[in-house]
Protein backbone atom coordinates (compact mmCIF):
# COMPACT_ATOMS: atom_id res chain seq x y z
CA UNK A 1 0.00 0.00 0.00
CA UNK A 2 2.91 2.35 0.68
CA UNK A 3 4.01 2.14 -2.97
CA UNK A 4 0.48 2.90 -4.12
CA UNK A 5 0.27 5.94 -1.84
CA UNK A 6 3.70 7.13 -2.98
CA UNK A 7 2.56 6.85 -6.61
CA UNK A 8 -0.58 8.85 -5.73
CA UNK A 9 1.55 11.58 -4.15
CA UNK A 10 4.06 11.63 -7.01
CA UNK A 11 1.39 12.02 -9.66
CA UNK A 12 -0.42 14.70 -7.67
CA UNK A 13 2.83 16.63 -7.30
CA UNK A 14 3.36 16.52 -11.09
CA UNK A 15 -0.22 17.61 -11.71
CA UNK A 16 0.19 20.58 -9.34
CA UNK A 17 3.46 21.59 -11.02
CA UNK A 18 1.76 21.56 -14.41
CA UNK A 19 -1.47 23.32 -13.42
CA UNK A 20 -0.55 25.81 -10.67
CA UNK A 21 1.35 28.30 -12.87
CA UNK A 22 -1.38 28.43 -15.55
CA UNK A 23 -3.20 31.69 -16.17
CA UNK A 24 -6.93 31.39 -15.48
CA UNK A 25 -7.78 31.88 -19.16
CA UNK A 26 -5.52 29.01 -20.24
CA UNK A 27 -6.76 26.81 -17.38
CA UNK A 28 -10.36 27.22 -18.58
CA UNK A 29 -9.80 27.10 -22.33
CA UNK A 30 -10.80 24.07 -24.37
CA UNK A 31 -8.49 23.07 -27.23
CA UNK A 32 -11.62 22.12 -29.25
CA UNK A 33 -15.36 22.15 -28.64
CA UNK A 34 -15.47 18.40 -28.01
CA UNK A 35 -12.40 18.29 -25.73
CA UNK A 36 -12.04 19.11 -22.05
CA UNK A 37 -10.18 22.10 -20.69
CA UNK A 38 -7.57 21.62 -17.96
CA UNK A 39 -10.23 22.87 -15.51
CA UNK A 40 -12.61 20.14 -16.63
CA UNK A 41 -9.90 17.48 -16.41
CA UNK A 42 -9.05 18.56 -12.85
CA UNK A 43 -12.72 18.52 -11.90
CA UNK A 44 -13.16 15.06 -13.43
CA UNK A 45 -10.20 13.65 -11.47
CA UNK A 46 -11.72 15.05 -8.27
CA UNK A 47 -15.22 13.74 -9.09
CA UNK A 48 -13.86 10.24 -9.73
CA UNK A 49 -11.77 10.17 -6.56
CA UNK A 50 -14.66 11.48 -4.43
CA UNK A 51 -17.10 8.96 -5.91
CA UNK A 52 -14.68 6.05 -5.45
CA UNK A 53 -14.01 7.11 -1.86
CA UNK A 54 -17.75 7.25 -1.15
CA UNK A 55 -18.16 3.73 -2.50
CA UNK A 56 -15.16 2.46 -0.50
CA UNK A 57 -16.67 4.01 2.64
CA UNK A 58 -19.93 2.17 1.93
CA UNK A 59 -18.16 -1.13 1.19
CA UNK A 60 -16.11 -1.00 4.39
CA UNK A 61 -19.28 -1.11 6.49
CA UNK A 62 -20.13 -4.55 5.09
CA UNK A 63 -18.58 -7.87 5.96
CA UNK A 64 -15.11 -8.64 4.55
CA UNK A 65 -15.21 -10.05 1.00
CA UNK A 66 -12.37 -11.20 -1.22
CA UNK A 67 -12.09 -10.67 -4.95
CA UNK A 68 -11.68 -13.90 -6.90
CA UNK A 69 -8.12 -14.85 -7.83
CA UNK A 70 -8.43 -14.12 -11.56
CA UNK A 71 -9.85 -10.68 -10.80
CA UNK A 72 -6.83 -9.92 -8.59
CA UNK A 73 -4.56 -10.44 -11.60
CA UNK A 74 -6.04 -7.56 -13.63
CA UNK A 75 -3.37 -4.82 -13.77
CA UNK A 76 -4.85 -1.45 -12.82
CA UNK A 77 -1.95 0.17 -14.69
CA UNK A 78 -3.84 -0.29 -17.98
CA UNK A 79 -5.97 2.68 -16.94
CA UNK A 80 -3.02 5.06 -17.42
CA UNK A 81 -2.83 4.32 -21.16
CA UNK A 82 -4.15 7.05 -23.44
CA UNK A 83 -4.35 4.69 -26.44
CA UNK A 84 -7.98 3.83 -25.81
CA UNK A 85 -10.46 6.67 -25.46
CA UNK A 86 -13.03 6.08 -22.73
CA UNK A 87 -16.20 8.08 -22.27
CA UNK A 88 -16.60 9.16 -18.66
CA UNK A 89 -19.79 8.03 -16.92
CA UNK A 90 -22.28 10.86 -16.51
CA UNK A 91 -21.79 11.04 -12.74
CA UNK A 92 -18.13 12.02 -13.20
CA UNK A 93 -18.45 14.19 -16.28
CA UNK A 94 -17.31 17.72 -15.45
CA UNK A 95 -19.67 20.66 -15.68
CA UNK A 96 -19.08 24.28 -14.75
CA UNK A 97 -15.69 23.64 -13.13
CA UNK A 98 -14.55 25.96 -10.35
CA UNK A 99 -11.59 28.32 -10.53
CA UNK A 100 -8.08 26.87 -10.53
CA UNK A 101 -7.43 27.52 -6.83
CA UNK A 102 -10.74 26.00 -5.76
CA UNK A 103 -10.34 23.07 -8.16
CA UNK A 104 -6.88 22.23 -6.82
CA UNK A 105 -8.06 22.69 -3.22
CA UNK A 106 -10.96 20.31 -3.88
CA UNK A 107 -8.53 17.74 -5.32
CA UNK A 108 -6.29 17.98 -2.27
CA UNK A 109 -9.19 17.81 0.19
CA UNK A 110 -10.50 14.64 -1.45
CA UNK A 111 -7.00 13.13 -1.49
CA UNK A 112 -6.57 13.89 2.20
CA UNK A 113 -9.81 12.05 2.94
CA UNK A 114 -8.70 9.09 0.82
CA UNK A 115 -5.35 8.84 2.58
CA UNK A 116 -7.05 9.10 5.98
CA UNK A 117 -9.40 6.29 4.94
CA UNK A 118 -6.43 4.12 3.93
CA UNK A 119 -4.59 4.84 7.18
CA UNK A 120 -7.67 4.12 9.27
CA UNK A 121 -8.54 0.80 7.66
CA UNK A 122 -5.15 -0.53 6.60
CA UNK A 123 -3.91 -2.77 3.83
CA UNK A 124 -5.44 -6.02 5.08
CA UNK A 125 -8.97 -4.64 5.44
CA UNK A 126 -8.75 -2.95 2.04
CA UNK A 127 -7.73 -6.29 0.51
CA UNK A 128 -10.98 -7.69 1.94
CA UNK A 129 -13.50 -5.39 0.33
CA UNK A 130 -14.87 -5.30 -3.18
CA UNK A 131 -15.28 -2.26 -5.40
CA UNK A 132 -17.28 -2.57 -8.61
CA UNK A 133 -15.38 -0.63 -11.26
CA UNK A 134 -17.43 0.17 -14.39
CA UNK A 135 -14.68 -1.07 -16.76
CA UNK A 136 -12.35 -3.27 -14.68
CA UNK A 137 -15.11 -5.16 -12.86
CA UNK A 138 -14.68 -6.28 -9.24
CA UNK A 139 -11.40 -5.17 -7.68
CA UNK A 140 -10.28 -5.05 -4.06
CA UNK A 141 -9.71 -1.86 -2.07
CA UNK A 142 -5.94 -1.74 -2.59
CA UNK A 143 -6.41 -2.20 -6.35
CA UNK A 144 -9.04 0.53 -6.21
CA UNK A 145 -6.59 3.00 -4.68
CA UNK A 146 -4.04 1.88 -7.26
CA UNK A 147 -6.62 2.52 -9.99
CA UNK A 148 -7.01 6.10 -8.72
CA UNK A 149 -3.27 6.60 -9.06
CA UNK A 150 -3.22 5.35 -12.65
CA UNK A 151 -6.40 7.26 -13.47
CA UNK A 152 -4.72 10.47 -12.36
CA UNK A 153 -1.62 9.58 -14.40
CA UNK A 154 -3.86 9.15 -17.44
CA UNK A 155 -5.34 12.59 -16.94
CA UNK A 156 -1.98 14.17 -16.15
CA UNK A 157 -0.95 13.01 -19.64
CA UNK A 158 -4.18 14.47 -20.99
CA UNK A 159 -3.37 17.81 -19.34
CA UNK A 160 0.05 17.80 -21.00
CA UNK A 161 -1.53 17.02 -24.38
CA UNK A 162 -4.14 19.75 -23.88
CA UNK A 163 -1.52 22.34 -22.99
CA UNK A 164 0.54 21.43 -26.06
CA UNK A 165 -2.51 21.81 -28.28
CA UNK A 166 -3.37 25.18 -26.71
CA UNK A 167 0.24 26.33 -27.09
CA UNK A 168 0.17 25.56 -30.81
CA UNK A 169 -2.89 27.74 -31.42
Return the pLDDT at 69: 62
Return the pLDDT at 72: 61
CB neighbour class for 52 (10 Å; exposed up to 12, middle 13-18, buried from 19): buried
Return the pLDDT at 1: 81
pTM, whole model, 2 decimals? 0.92
**Tens-level pLDDT at each residue, the chain (169 residues):** 889 999 999 999 999 999 999 999 999 999 999 999 999 999 999 999 999 999 999 999 998 888 776 566 666 777 787 877 888 889 999 999 999 999 999 999 999 999 999 999 999 999 999 998 887 888 999 999 999 999 999 999 999 999 999 986 5
Contacts 24+ apart (CB under 8 A), 92-95: 92/44, 92/47, 92/48, 92/51, 93/44, 93/47, 94/36, 94/39, 94/40, 94/41, 94/43, 94/44, 94/47
Return the pLDDT at 65: 84
Task: Return the HEC string of 62-117.
Answer: CCCCCCCHHHHCCCHHHHHCCCCCCCCCHHHCCCCCCCHHHHHHHHHHHHHHHHHH
Q: Max Cα separation, the chain? A: 54
Domains of the chain by start residue, with CATH: 2-167 (1.20.120.450)
Phi, psi at 61, each rounded to 5° = -75, -15
Amino acid sequence: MNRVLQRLDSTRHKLHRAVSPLADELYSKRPALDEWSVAEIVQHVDLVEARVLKELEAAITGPPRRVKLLRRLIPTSIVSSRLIKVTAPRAVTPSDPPSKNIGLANLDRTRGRLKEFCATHGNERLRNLVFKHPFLGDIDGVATVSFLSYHEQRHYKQIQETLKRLDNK
